[in-house]
Amino acid sequence: MSNKINRQIILVKRPSGKPQPDDFSLVDASVPVPEEGQVLCKTIYLSLDPYMRGRMNDSKSYADPVKINEVMTGGTVGQVLKSRSTNFQQGDIVYGYGGWQDYWASEGKALRKIDPELAPISTATGVLGMPGVTAYTGFLNIGQPKKGETVVVAAASGAVGSVVGQIAHIKGARAVGIAGSEEKCKFVTEEFGFDACVNHNSPDFAEALKNACPDGIDVYFENVSGKVFETVMPLLNDFARIPVCGLIALYNATELPPGPNLTPLLMRDILVKRLTFRGFIVWDFAAQEKEALTELAKWIKEGKLHYREDIVDGLENAPEAFMGLLEGKNFGKLVVQVSDHPAA
Amino acid sequence: MSNKINRQIILVKRPSGKPQPDDFSLVDASVPVPEEGQVLCKTIYLSLDPYMRGRMNDSKSYADPVKINEVMTGGTVGQVLKSRSTNFQQGDIVYGYGGWQDYWASEGKALRKIDPELAPISTATGVLGMPGVTAYTGFLNIGQPKKGETVVVAAASGAVGSVVGQIAHIKGARAVGIAGSEEKCKFVTEEFGFDACVNHNSPDFAEALKNACPDGIDVYFENVSGKVFETVMPLLNDFARIPVCGLIALYNATELPPGPNLTPLLMRDILVKRLTFRGFIVWDFAAQEKEALTELAKWIKEGKLHYREDIVDGLENAPEAFMGLLEGKNFGKLVVQVSDHPAA
C-alpha cells in the first residue's frame, strides 16, 4: 500500500466531565501485519457513538475501559487489504471494531461482511448496524409496542431513536419524538414520519409533550435521562414499558444533581403504575442480530425505514465530532469518513 | 342475632405522615340488611395490610381512596349469617372486603368460600389469601428465580416476604431475608428456613448483607424501599430482577429525602447491569389466583411452607395495630380477631 503510516487517535487522559481535546492525541504508528487467520483492513468509516464516553472512564461497566495510550475503541467499516483468513478476500467490505485509526488487523471471526449492493456501506455503522439492531431488539423485546399505543422516543433524530419511532409506526403504534432543536423535530416528523416531535430545549417542553400525548405514554424508549426523563414520568400510563438504552444527559456529569432525592417518586410510580424498567445492551439480544438486520434491510427496501447520517470528514476531526455528539450537536448517525471508498 | 350494633372504624381525618389515633373513630351503626343476591356476614378476622396506608390519602393510585367518614377498607374472614345468594348458605365461612366493622353485606360474587378443613380460616387473610397470592405471582412472574440464584427478600418475616423466601427455597434458590430485629431474623432462618437473615436496624447491616450474599443478588423482592433498597442496590448482579411489591418505608413520608438526587445512580445501574424493575399489584395476576392458592395449600400440607400470624384481639384495637404495622412492630401476618369462630 502507498501510505505506510497508521494514524491513530489514542486516549491520553481520562476526562473529568466533558471530554476535552487534550484527552486525545493523534499519533503515527505502523500498519499492523496480519497473522495467520487475520485480516488487514483499511478504515473507510468510523462510527461515533455515545457508549464510547463510558469506555473513557476507569470504572466497572459492561465492558472494559480503554487503557491510557490505547487506541480509542469504535466500530468501523473497512476494506480488506490483505487476508490470511479463508473467509475473506482482498477488496471485501467488512464491519468490525477497528477503533479510531487508519488500519487494523483483526481475526476473521470478529468481522462481518457487508454487501455494498444492499445499501451504502456507511449504514453498517447505523441503521444496518449496532444502532439499528439496538433499536429493533430493545424496542420489540422490552417495549412490546401494541397497535394504537403511544411510543415516546428520546433522541429521536439520532441513530437509535429514529429507528425506534419508525418501527413503532410499522407496528401500528403512535410515535412521538423528543429532539433538541426545531430543525431536528421537523426532520423527525417529515422524514422519519413520527406523528409528533417535541423540542426539549423549548421553554414549553413539558406542555408540548403533554399535548402531543393526549392518551399518555405506553412505551418510553430512554436514551437520555435527566430533564427529559423527569418530564416524561408523569405522563406514563399504567403498565408502561421503559427500555433503558442510554443516558446521554448523565455521561459527562461529575456529580449528582442537588436534592431533594427523587428516587422515592420513581419507585412509587413503578409500583402504583406497575411500570417495567429494563436496561439492555445490544449484545444481550445477540441471537436476534440476523433477524434484526434482515427486517431492517427489508423495511429500507420497502421505503418504510429512513435514516440520516451526519458524516464528518477526516480521522483528525473525530475527537471534536465526538465531543459534539455528547452535547447533541450531531444530526443523524454520526460517522467519520476516514478514507475513500473504494480504498485507494 | 343477639347483638344489633354494628361497630365500625371510620376514617375521620387524612393523616399527614404517620397515622394518629384521632384519624380514626369507632362508631356504632346498624347491622345491614342483605338485598336479593347479597349475603350478610359477621366479621371474624380483619386483615391489616400496608396497602391501607395508601387508601387513607386523597391521591390518585390504583384504587380509590377511602372517603372521609367511610368505613376503613380491609379484607375480612366472616361467617354467613343470612344468605340471599344461591351460592352461599348460613354458616359458610367466606373471605371478602368487609372493612373494619362487625357486620357487612356483600354481593355473593365478591365473596370467596373458605374451606375450614384446609387450614385455620385466618390464613385466608395471609398465606392462603392476598399476601400469599401476591408473593407467589409477583415472585414467580417477575422474579423468575433460577436454581442456585440468590434471592433477597425485604420484610422477610412479614406476610408476603416470608412466603417469597420459602418459594425461593422450593425453586432451588438461596433465600436471604432482611428483617427489623434479631428476634425476627432468628425466626426467618429457623422457622421459615431462609439461608440467612440480616437485621436492617443493626449498625453493620450493609456489611452483614454483603457477607450473606457472597455471589451477589439475582432477585430482590422489594417491600420496603429507603435505606434497605439503597443497601441492596450495589450488590445486585447483572440481569437481576426486582419485583416492586411495596414501599413501606415511604408510606408515612411527608417530604422527599434531602439531596443529592440519587435517581441518576439508579438509572445507571439499570442500564449497566441490565436490571429489570417491575411494579405489580396482586390483581394484575388475577388469572393465576386459583393456581397460586392450590400450590400454596399443597406446600403447607407437605410441610414446605410455614406461616406466622400476629393476632390482635378486638376491633377497637385495629387502629393501634395498623399504626404499628407501618413501623414494623408486627411479627408475622397482622390480623385482628373481631369475633369468635364459629360466630355466636
Domain check: are B209 and B333 in the same one?
no
Pairwise pLDDT comparison (A344 vs A137), residue with the higher score: A137
Closest approach of chain B CAs to the CA of A252, in angstroms? 12
Domain check: are A105 and A80 in the same one?
yes
Least-confidence region, from B21-30, B180-189, B253-262: B253-262
Domain check: are A137 and A269 in the same one?
yes
Instruction: Flag whether A42 is in a domain.
Output: yes
Domain check: are B214 and B274 in the same one?
yes
Domain check: are B96 and B202 in the same one?
no
Distance (Å, whole) CA B146 – CA B62? 31
Which pLDDT band holds residue A3 (cuts at 50, 70, 90)? low
Check residue B18 and give its pLDDT. Answer: 95
Question: What tens digit of pLDDT does each residue of B50-108 get?
Answer: 999 999 999 877 888 999 999 999 999 999 999 999 999 999 999 999 999 999 999 99
**What backbone torsions phi and psi does residue A44 show, to the nearest 5 degrees?**
-100, -50
- Whether pTM > 0.90 for this model: the answer is yes
Q: Are A228 and A154 in contact (CB under 8 A)?
A: yes
- Does residue B104 sit in helix, strand or coil? strand
Domain check: are A19 and A119 in the same one?
yes
Helices B289-301 and B161-170 cross at an angle (nearest 10°) of 70
**Residue B129 scores a pLDDT above 70:** yes
Instruction: Flag whether B300 is in a domain.
Output: no
Q: Are A209 and A231 in contact (CB under 8 A)?
A: yes
Cell output for A141:
423485546
CATH at A149: 3.40.50.720
CATH at A22: 3.90.180.10
Average pLDDT over residues B145-172: 97
Domain check: are B120 and B143 in the same one?
no
Q: How far is CA A316 from CA A313, A319, B41, in A?
A: 8, 7, 81
Domain check: are A140 and A260 in the same one?
yes
Instruction: Flag whether B214 is in a domain.
Output: yes
Average pLDDT over residues B121-146: 97
Check residue A341 and give its pLDDT. Answer: 73
Closest approach of chain B CAs to the CA of A63, in angstroms? 9
Strand locations in B33-118, DSSP E? Answer: 38-47, 76-83, 93-96, 103-107, 112-113
Domain count, chain B: 2
Check residue B202 and give its pLDDT. Answer: 97
Contact B267 A61 (CB under 8 A): no
The stretches of B11-80 forming alpha helices (DSSP H) are 51-55
Check residue B3 and give its pLDDT. Answer: 56
**Residue A314 scores a pLDDT above 60:** yes
Instruction: Flag whether A51 is in a domain.
Output: yes
Average pLDDT over residues B200-227: 97
Question: What tens digit of pLDDT does each residue of A243-258 get?
Answer: 999 998 888 888 999 9
**What backbone torsions phi and psi does residue B319 show, to the nearest 5 degrees?**
-60, -45
Check residue B139 and give its pLDDT. Answer: 98
Question: What tens digit of pLDDT does each residue of B235-252 get?
Answer: 999 999 999 999 988 888
Domain check: are A137 and A272 in the same one?
yes
Query: Mean pLDDT of all residues in chain A?
Result: 95
Contact A273 B257 (CB under 8 A): no
Which pLDDT band holds residue B13 (cuts at 50, 70, 90)? very high
Instruction: Flag whether A342 is in a domain.
Output: no
Check residue B249 and give its pLDDT. Answer: 87
Domain check: are B147 and B262 in the same one?
yes
Q: Are A45 and A77 in contact (CB under 8 A)?
A: yes
What are the residues of chain B with a beta carbon less than 8 Å away from any beta carbon of chain A?
Answer: 54, 61-62, 222, 225-226, 229, 238, 244-247, 250, 253, 255-281, 284
Closest approach of chain A CAs to the CA of B285, in angstroms? 12
In sequence order, what are the residues at sequence separation of 6 or more whose Cβ sits closer than 8 angstroms to the Cβ of residue B266?
Answer: A263, A266, B233
Contact B266 A266 (CB under 8 A): yes
Domain check: are B119 and B138 in the same one?
no
In sequence order, what are the residues at sequence separation of 6 or more whose Cβ sits closer than 8 angstroms to the Cβ of residue A126?
Answer: A47, A132, A159, A307, A309, A333, A335
Domain check: are B165 and B250 in the same one?
yes
Instruction: Flag whether A153 is in a domain.
Output: yes
Distance (Å, whole) CA B89 – CA B188? 39
Average pLDDT over residues B307-316: 97
Distance (Å, whole) CA A213 – CA A152? 9
Using a CB-CB cut-off of 8 Å, the residues of chain B touching A255 are 260
Distance (Å, whole) CA B95 – CA B103? 13
Instruction: Flag whether A41 is in a domain.
Output: yes
Instruction: Flag whether A291 is in a domain.
Output: no
Its domain, for residue B267, covers 130-285
Using a CB-CB cut-off of 8 Å, the residues of chain A touching B65 are none
Question: What tens digit of pLDDT does each residue of A135-181 get?
Answer: 999 999 999 999 999 999 999 999 999 999 999 999 999 999 999 99
Least-confidence region, from A265-274, A335-344, B22-31, B148-157: A335-344
Check residue A126 and give its pLDDT. Answer: 97
Average pLDDT over residues A281-299: 96
Q: Which of B256, B269, B273 is opposite residue A260, by nearest beta carbon? A: B256
